[in-house]
Amino acid sequence: MDVRRKGPGASGRFIQGLGMLFTINVAVLLAFIVFVRLRRRTEARSRFDEKLTVVIVLALGVVIAPTSFGQGLLDFLGQLIQGISQAAW
């Protein structure tokens, strides 16, 4: 099995095996894991599950932050919060 980094960051991995080439985007994988974990009912979660979900979400934020999508999301949220704070006064 051949595992190589894609580009300068660790946002993607190439995995080659059995004559096929798969690309796994780490941000998409983490987002999927968060989505699946948050679909569970709150009563079914233990404290450890809650802490693990927080760690996974923080890792997702670290992976997304330096991308153009992350910067756009930061700008959008900043404008949204600024608009809400101005409307409240």
Helix, coil or strand: residue 68? helix
**What pLDDT, in 10s, does the model give residues 59-82?**
988 888 888 888 998 899 899 999
pLDDT of residue 8: 45
> Tokens 């096929």 sit at which residue?
20
Buried b (16+ CB within 10 A) or exposed e, 1-13: eeeeeeeeeebbe
| Distance separating the N- and C-terminal Cα atoms of the chain | 60
% of the chain at pLDDT higher than 90: 9
19 band by pLDDT with thresholds 50, 70 and 90:
low
Query: Six-digit token pair at 37?
Result: 């974990």
Backbone dihedral region of 45: left (phi > 0), alpha (psi from -120 to 50 degrees) or beta? beta
Compute φ and ψ for 10, nearest 5 degrees.
Answer: -100, 30
pLDDT of residue 76: 93
pLDDT of residue 15: 55
Helix H or strand E segment including 66: none
